[in-house]
Amino acid sequence: MKKNIFGFTLVELLAAIVILGVLSTVAFTSITRMIDSNKNKIYINDAKRLIAYVEYKFKSDKKLSKPTMGNAIVISLGYLNNQDITNGPNNGEYEKDRSFVVVKNNSGKLEYAVSLLEKLDNGGYKGLELTKDTDFSSASSRIHSFTEADLVEVPDLQVSNINTILGETYISGSISHIYS
Nearest to 143, CA basis, from 39, 30, 49: 39
- Look at residue 134 in the predicted model and tell me its pLDDT: 93
Q: d(Cα 112, Cα 102) in Å, to the nearest integer?
A: 6
Q: Is residue 13 part of a domain?
A: no
Relative to beta strand 125-132, strand 143-146 is antiparallel
Contacts of 114 (CB under 8 A, 6+ apart): 47, 50, 51, 100, 101, 102, 128, 130, 131, 133
Q: Is residue 15 part of a domain?
A: no
Q: Is residue 59 part of a domain?
A: yes
- Look at residue 94 in the predicted model and tell me its pLDDT: 94
Domain of 120? 32-179
Q: Is the pTM of this model over 0.75?
A: yes
- Look at residue 53 in the predicted model and tell me its pLDDT: 92
Q: Is residue 116 part of a domain?
A: yes
Q: Is residue 9 part of a domain?
A: no
Q: d(Cα 112, Cα 144) in Å, to the nearest integer?
A: 20
CA distances from 107 to 1, 65, 70, 139 (A): 94, 16, 7, 25
Q: Is residue 23 part of a domain?
A: no
- Look at residue 54 in the predicted model and tell me its pLDDT: 93
Q: Is residue 91 part of a domain?
A: yes
pLDDT < 50 stretches in the chain: none
Q: Is residue 48 part of a domain?
A: yes
Number of domains, the chain: 1
